[in-house]
Amino acid sequence: VKLVRTFVIMATLIAAGTAAFAQSAALAVTSTAPTVDGVVNAGEYGWSTDLKGLALYASRTADSLFVAVVGDTKGWVAFGLGSQRMNGATIFMGFVKADGTVEFKPQEGRGRAHFDVGAGVTATVVAHKMTEADGKTTLEVELKAAPYIAAGAAGLDAIWAMGSADSFLPVHVSRGSLSIPLAK
């Protein structure tokens, strides 16, 4: 029993160490811009993390912040910036319908709901593209960096979520929040 316990503890420590290593790299400004085509290729983004059924990617150039989410769903996917709760987050949400039509909306989180944004937030979206393939839905967005990343900030508060329907209304099947570490 003692041997088994030691093994379990060691395996847990190794797993924790691996996870810490994978998350330790911070999002840095580079000159390499991802292509906003609705497909995330290996090595395209400078920073990424695997969440519960959803992968979150980010890259930063001098002027732009690129964020992509790839969720295990045929329904909606979303990420939000500026808060670790729905309340106060600027949310980017969308889905691809069965006929291939894309619906995408920037939203602002208030309480446990989200609402349409004004022209100011819409103007921060430089480009966006969505695709759905093999049971996964991808949302790629290029944003103006300055409104989202304050000078000298050490982290960027973010939320993510996905739902099973092609609709902006039904609640998530999976959601979470994090701080994306920013390189100095």
* Per CB under 6 A, 145 contacts ligand HEM: no
Q: Indicate the Cα dihedral angle 39, 45, 48, 53, nearest 10°.
A: 0
Shortest CB 172 distance to ligand HEM, Å: 5
* Per CB under 6 A, 161 contacts ligand HEM: yes
* Per CB under 6 A, 144 contacts ligand HEM: no
Comparison of 33 and 173: residue with beta carbon closer to ligand HEM: 173
Comparison of 8 and 171: residue with beta carbon closer to ligand HEM: 171
Shortest CB 43 distance to ligand HEM, Å: 26
Shortest CB 24 distance to ligand HEM, Å: 23
Cα separation, 145 vs 143, whole angstroms = 6
Cα separation, 124 vs 51, whole angstroms = 26
Rg of the chain over all Cα atoms, to the nearest angstrom: 17
* Per CB under 6 A, 55 contacts ligand HEM: no
Taking contact as CB under 6 A, which single stretch among the options 7-15, 17-25, 60-68, 84-92 is the one that binds ligand HEM? 84-92
Q: Are 53 and 69 in contact (CB under 8 A)?
A: no
* Per CB under 6 A, 130 contacts ligand HEM: no
Of 115, 120, 67, 118, nearest to 88 (Cα)?
Answer: 115
The only residue of 37, 52, 85, 101 in contact with ligand HEM, by rule CB under 6 A: 85
Instruction: Find where tokens 């994090």 sit.
Output: 178
Exposure string over 31-56, b if 16+ CB within 10 A, otherwise e: eeebebebebeeebbbbbbebeebbb
The only residue of 4, 112, 118, 119 in contact with ligand HEM, by rule CB under 6 A: 112
Footprint of ligand HEM on this chain (CB under 6 A)?
Answer: 78-80, 85-87, 91, 93, 112, 114, 159-161, 169-172, 175-177
